[in-house]
Amino acid sequence: MEHPDPERSDIRLAPSETHGRGGADTYLHAMLGSTGRPASLTNRKGLRLAVYLWPHSTRTEHRGVVGLLHGHGSHIGFDFLRAPRTPDGSPEYEGSLVEALNARGFSVAGMDFHGMGRSEGVRWYADCFDDYVDDAEILVRAIARGVRGMKGFPSDCRPFLIANSMGGGVCAHVLHRACSRRDCPSSSVRSDDDDDGTPVTEDLGGVVMLSPMLGLRSVETSQHGLLLRLARALNLLWPWAQVVRGGRDNSCSETQHRWECDPYTSGARATRLRNALEYLKACKCDRSTPELVPLLLFHCRNDSWTDFSGTERYFENSRSRDKTFEALDGSEHLLTQGPRAQEVMAHVVEWITRRYGFGASRSRDVP
């Protein structure tokens, strides 16, 4: 059952006792640091989505808000926080991209897609790729409305989005939906627009995509191609079967080991049939970009998970008047960790800072 009531899409803070320092919450506390708060959203299917809020540093003036979207089988902590000190440890706030943004005056809100991380839903499964796009739109709208009872998340702000891997593909579809609605208001494309019909991109200040899932030709043409063709037949009978295996991330054995040990990632499990087919279909769709949304893309040329060429084509076809593509040598996929993490994070923070503007001064905290 869907829940279109916009009131259900407001970010709700979790009780303060749910993120204490001991017991089962040690993992969550390491993610949140000393100032973060857990929260939640409700998506169109009525599932609770886990949200994490990190207010800007009190030592700096508030500049704005940044939203985070993670990759397939992952969660916000793994993709955007500092790698744990030990394989069985927790991702840490200190030294992460989130902390760097907070220090520059940006509050940060991250969300686990349904079925991933701490969110509700069948683990690492979606009936349709558009369901993930719905989740992302709900997050953007909720951030723009502000968070009641928490400073640093005011109403009437224009957040930036930073999206990794599959999250980048989701973000591209968010932008395309907005273009479709603007060009064809009577379109049947799903909508999470406010009552005035304003496209979701009116709420965005800009988008950063890290190793985005904009092409998967390497998967289609690999030894898994036959299995994927068979999956189209099996999909109707067994859509949740975990049989489509991707390759290992050989660019960084430590990252691969942490991925397999993290309790909230899909680890060594194969991708579900329905998801694999939905990802391939999503990568083949047209994806328009609004002219007025700044765009920053990063991708390694030899990334073995998502195609560099897909990001290259997306950049070339983008209509954005302010677009940058950082083509990197190497094969790293998770750019927020590993040898070039500090360089990439510094670039992202500086790019957002230069483009954010002073619109946030008109916003106000939600009581």
266 assigned to some structural domain: no
CA distances from 364 to 43, 54, 85, 154, 268 (A): 25, 17, 38, 5, 45
User: Over 50: is that where the pLDDT of 359 sits?
Assistant: no
> In sequence order, what are the residues at sequence separation of 6 or more whose Cβ sits closer than 8 angstroms to the Cβ of residue 23?
none
Distance separating alpha carbons of residues 184 and 318, to the nearest angstrom: 19
What are the Cα distances from residue 93, in Å, to 81, 135, 288? 6, 24, 34
**Token pair recorded at residue 279:** 């990802």
Least confident of 33-42, 53-62, 67-76, 194-203: 194-203
Q: 189: which 2 tokens? A: 């494309």
> Is residue 53 a contact partner of residue 107, using CB atoms and an 8 Å limit?
yes
CA neighbor of 162 nearest in space, from 124, 210, 214:
210
pLDDT at 300 over 90: yes
Helices (H) and strands (E) in the chain, counts: 11, 11
Confidence category of residue 26, pLDDT binned at 50, 70, 90: confident
Cα 366 from Cα 348, distance rounded (Å): 28
**Residue count (the chain):** 367
- Residue 138 placed within a domain: yes
- Cβ distance 38 to 51 under 8 Å? yes
Averaged pLDDT, 231-238: 68
- Containing 30, the helix (H) or strand (E) segment is helix 26-32
For residues 13 and 152, is the Cβ–Cβ distance under 8 A?
no
DSSP state of 42: E
92: domain CATH number is 3.40.50.1820
pLDDT tens track for 304-356:
889 999 999 999 999 999 999 999 999 899 999 888 999 999 999 999 999 98
* CA 325-326-332 angle, 5° bins: 130
Share of the chain above pLDDT 70, in %: 77
| Residue range(s) defining the domain that contains residue 165 | 6-219+287-356
Q: Mean pLDDT, the chain, as a whole number?
A: 84
Are residues 142 and 11 in contact, defined by beta-carbon separation less than 8 angstroms?
yes
- Inside any domain, residue 193: yes
Q: Is 159 a member of any domain?
A: yes
Give me the amino acid identity at 366. Answer: V
325 within domain boundaries: yes
Question: CA dist 45 to 48, 49, 101, Å?
Answer: 9, 11, 32
Whether 243 shows a pLDDT value over 50: the answer reads: yes
Q: What is the value of pTM for the model shown? A: 0.89
Q: Is 165 left (phi over 0), alpha (psi -120 to 50) or beta?
A: left
Residue at 150 is within a domain: yes
Model confidence at 149: pLDDT above 90: no
127-152 mean pLDDT: 94
Residue 267 lies inside a defined structural domain of this protein: no
pLDDT recorded at residue 245: 66
Q: Do residues 33 and 128 lie in contact, with contact meaning Cβ atoms separated by under 8 Å?
A: no
Q: Which of 146-150, 175-179, 189-193, 238-242 has the lowest mean pLDDT?
A: 189-193
Q: What are phi and psi of 145, to 5 degrees?
A: -80, -15
What backbone torsions phi and psi does residue 255 show, to the nearest 5 degrees? -65, -45
Number of domains in the chain: 1
CB of 174 closer than 8 Å to CB of 143:
no
**For position 221, what pLDDT does the model report?**
58
Instruction: Check: CB of residue 102 under 8 Å from CB of residue 56.
Output: yes
In a domain, 22, yes or no: yes
